[in-house]
Every structure is written in structure tokens, then in C-alpha cells.
Amino acid sequence: MEALLSSMGSKCPFLVRSSVSTLRTLAAQAPAGAAAAESGLAKVAGSCPVMSKALDAKKRAMHTSAPAHSAYPLQGFPAHPAKEAPLAPTHTPAAAAPAAAHNVAGTSTAGRPFDYDGFFNEQLEKKKKDKSYRYFNNINRLAQAYPTAHTGTGDNVTVWCANDYLGMSRHPVVTEAMKSAVDMYGTGAGGTRNIAGNAALHLRLEHALADLHGCDGALVFSSCFVANDATLCTLASKMPGTHIFSDASNHASMIQGIRNSRAAKHVFRHNDVAHLEELLQKVPIEAPKIIAFESVYSMCGSIGPTKEIIALAKKYNALTFLDEVHAVGMYGARGAGVAEYQDLMSEIDIFTGTLGKAFGVVGGYIAGSAKLVDMVRSYAPGFIFTTSLPPPVVAAALSSVEYLKESTLERSGQQLNVRDLKARLRDVGIPVVPNPSHIVPVMVGDAELAKRVSDDLLRDHAIYVQSINSPTVAVGEERLRITPTPGHTPPMMDHLVDSLLHLWRKHNLKFEKDWELAPRANVGTGLVVDQLVKMEDLAIPEHFEQARANNQPMLIH
């Protein structure tokens, strides 16, 4: 206020005669609950021939009605362009003072409550219209009849798309561990890891996971979605000026963690190390960097160029963040994943994995250096503020991890069936996205048709294979995602292939040769990809071949 008097005192007779204390007293003189415009100072200003005009103009501006259609609607709400050209925006953000509200149909709702259900319904109709709406089938997998399930109507179907890749969810070693833990510790953890939820079982599981990946430490989360989100967000937000380099096909959990971190993000084309290096070159060497990628990409089955990415990380001083969710349990001598199979584990900074797929239980984890893991433990809200996994779940996961460190039978059986099914589909021209992993993506190329084929398989052929549509895969690359397990038999494969052939002809779908004019996801290019796991690396016992010859499952527990 002293500065105001100094600059304006010579121009205003009132200010010349008034002290600072007088002005402050007048400014404070307003009835309780009254607006600032009703203060004593405002009343004096109203008598001034100059200030009175300015105050009148301000009042008129404040009470002028807003146009019926805002040219600057709230972000996330339907936009309705005004019929007349909008005025240039003022310095006041439109979101702070929207001109008018609208309901989802586009009509004015001034004075009426927002139509929540109408808005929700509009969003759902959008997804139904573009065929991305998700329908959940009622599938109840039967432990004693793996890989069979019953539907909501009680009909039995063969499941060909589960992520219980090795059938460990029903292995006696796993189920007995869970039952024993229920009897000993009950069903719940009792709290967060900080409050009553940190048991000896949790510590043993983390020690086993650290050992699996050859790391100093590991940390268990409620899921690997949470592990990816929490770890990337924590690391990138805590390290000042972090840049994250993310593969274009990374899982939504990694994308979410990167987004939540608000760090600088650079997306490189899927498995394109040349593009990755081009982006790395633009960032100063002293800036913290994380390269986030996956070992097995679950919807296309491709495998990340781990060795090449490690080399770039060393060259440009970056941390490597490797998601092994669709590889742990299935690759490597002890089931640690693709990095183990390729003898690259010691070169990776951060592993993430799941306990809910090949290990057959639920949960996620990270593994890395002791300091890195402890920092995430100490700062990640997704770890700190959630109830820890129940002891029976942890006991079952621990038993599964330790069992698969020793047993190679499940991995070998899976690889044999994957090779067999891919060969059968190739022989009859069913279009499979070429890849070196255990995933068998069958290309359809249309969202509505993909769902129709999935429905027909379930209803008419007692086969459950879920259709995969946008945004999980690109529009025009909709597919069926098939995952053979050690429990599938040759007759089951015969039935699956015959059923697909029937439906491909029924719906006039494209065979492999039909994709040659306009290839998608390497379908129609003639590309042949060898399996990552070589036959000579598989430990195939004699009884496997005997079981297959007798049309029996290779593993019976």
C-alpha cells in the first residue's frame, strides 16, 4: 500500500490527504459476510468521479448473461460449437467460469442438475458403437479337469486362452501350501506391510524372487499392474529431470506409471532399437534415464531385443526396466524369464514379474538392487498404502516359484504344444501373427467378426478363446489369442483347428494367403520366425511322447 501511495498520491487528492493506516481501516470496514465491494474504501471510491465509472463497468461485466453455448467447454465433456463465431477468449480460463453447462444430448441444462446416468450411458454407447465394449464370459475353470471349465449354464468347454500357462493354479504343491497356510494363519493379511501385514511368508517370498532373478532385493505387490505403475512413477518422479523411453507396445500398467510420474516421455517404435538410439541421443548424458520394455509382448508374442537395449542403456547411461510378466516361470533354466534364457540377467537393473500367470496364483513384484528396492518400498504409495497379500496366497506363490526353479517338465510340455499348434494352423492357412514365443495370435482383422467367432466357438464348439479388440490391439488387427498349455491334448488341438477352419469359411474370413495384398502385423508377409526356445534346450521325458501318442495330457497331477 505504501508503494501505491508513492506512485498515485500526486494524482489523487484523496490519496494525498490519507494515511496508510486510514486506508487500511477503510478497507477492513465491511459487515460480516459482506463482499469486498461493500467495504468503507469501496464506498469512498464510489464518490470519486473516476473510480465510480470503473466500478460500474465491473458490475455490468459480472452480471452479464453467458452465451448458451460455450466455445470452450470443460475438458472431457461433449463440445457443442456455437452457431456464431466466438469472441476471442479473455485471460480468465474457460474451465474456471464455464459459460453454460450441457447435458449429454447437447441441450442446455442451465439451472438443472447434471445428468450423470445419461453421460455414463453415452460413454458406453460410444464403446458399443466402435465394437470395443467388453463382454465378460462366465468361465469357471475346473481344477480337477484342467484345461476344462464350465460356463454359467453348466456346459463344459475347453479353455484355450488362460494365462495360467503351466497349470500351476491346480498343482498339488501349490494348493496344499495354500490350504496349510489358511489353517495356520487364516485368510487375510490383517493390514498393510507397515501395520500387521508383514509376515515371515512375505519375507521368504521376496527372498525367493530376488534369488530367482539373481538380485539383492525384491518387493511383492498386490499385482504387477500396481508394481509397474508404482515403481515407474516413484523412480521417475523422485529422480530430478528423468526421461523415460518406452516401447510403443508396452502394457497399460507401464504407460500408467509413466503418465503418473509426469516425467519426460519418449516412445520408440516397437522393438526398434535404431529409433530408440535416435531418441536417446537427444537427451543429455547427465540426465537420469529409464528404458522400459517387455520380454514377451502378450498380444503379438514378439520378444524384446534385450541384448541390444542393454547395450544402448550402457552407452547412454540409462536404467533398464524389464517387464517379464509373460515370461517368468516359462523361460530359463529356473523359470526366471527370457533374460535368464539369454544369459542376460546380470545386465538388467529392474525386473518386474507376476505371480498370477505361469506361477498360477496372484500378485506382482519387482527385483533389483537392495537400495533401489528399498527406495521403492519407502516411497511408493501403491506399496505403502494397501493391504498386503494374504498369507495363503503368499504361501502358494512361494511354493510355485520354488517348484518351478527345479521342475522343467511344465516348460517343456508347453513348448511342445506351442510348436505343434502353430504348425497345424500354418498347414491349413489359418493366419497366425508370426512370433518366437508361446503366444498364438490368430488374426481376424475386424472387431465385430472377432467377437462373433469367439461367441460361435463357445456356443457351438465348446471352445473358449477370447477375442482381443481395440484399444488392446490396433484397429484392423483384432484377433483371437490362443495359449497352449501342457494340459492340452492332440484331440483337443484337432477339434480347435477343425472348428477354426469351419468358422473361417462360415464367416468368409481371410486366410494367410488373403492377407498378402494388405499385410497387417506381419501376417501375409511370408515371414517365418523360429521359436526362441530351441528343441535341444527342452528336457523331454519319454512318457511325454507316450502320452501324446495315446492322446493323453503330458502332465497329470
pLDDT digits (tens, 9 = 90+) for 89-141: 444 444 444 444 445 554 556 789 999 999 999 999 999 998 889 899 999 99
Taking each helix axis from N to C end, the angle separating 370-379 and 224-238, rounded to the nearest 10 degrees, works out to 100
Query: How confident is the model at residue 61, as a pLDDT?
Result: 45
Convert 294-323 to b/e letters by CB count within 10 Å (16 or more is b). bbbbbbbbbbbbbeebbebbeebebbbbbb
pLDDT digits (tens, 9 = 90+) for 435-474: 999 999 999 999 999 999 999 999 999 999 999 999 999 9
Q: Is the pLDDT of residue 27 over 70?
A: no
Q: Which residue has the cell 486366410?
A: 511
Q: Is the pLDDT of residue 158 over 80?
A: yes
Per-residue pLDDT band at 539 (split at 50, 70, 90): confident
Judged by DSSP in three states, 295 sits in coil
> Across residues 389-395, what is the average pLDDT?
98
Please state, as a whole number, how many other Cβ atoms lie within 10 Å of the Cβ of residue 205.
Answer: 26
Query: How confident is the model at residue 556, as a pLDDT?
Result: 73
Q: Is the pLDDT of residue 370 over 60?
A: yes
User: End-to-end alpha-carbon separation of the chain, Å?
Assistant: 85
Going 250 to 253 to 256 to 262, the CA torsion angle's sign is negative
Please state, as a whole number, how many other Cβ atoms lie within 10 Å of the Cβ of residue 473.
Answer: 21
Query: How confident is the model at residue 87, as a pLDDT?
Result: 38
Answer whether 452's CB lies under 8 Å from 422's CB: no
Residue 279 makes CB contacts below 8 A (sequence gap 6+) with 245, 266, 268
- The residue among 435, 555, 422 whose CA lies nearest residue 493 is 422
- The residue among 169, 157, 163 whose CA lies nearest residue 454 is 157
- The residue among 336, 26, 48, 401 whose CA lies nearest residue 206 is 401
Q: Is the pLDDT of residue 381 over 60?
A: yes
Judged by DSSP in three states, 157 sits in strand
Convert 374-396 to b/e letters by CB count within 10 Å (16 or more is b). ebbbeebebbeebebbbbbbbbb
Q: Which of 43-57, 193-207, 487-501 is least confident?
A: 43-57
What is the chain's mean pLDDT, rounded? 87
Catalytic residue numbers read 357
pLDDT digits (tens, 9 = 90+) for 191-203: 999 999 999 999 9
Q: Is the pLDDT of residue 45 over 50?
A: yes
Residue 188 makes CB contacts below 8 A (sequence gap 6+) with 387, 390
Per-residue pLDDT band at 75 (split at 50, 70, 90): very low
Look up residue 276 and give its DSSP letter. Answer: H
Q: How far is CA 487 from the centre of its chain?
A: 29
- Separation of alpha carbons 349 and 307, rounded Å: 13
pTM, two decimal places: 0.80
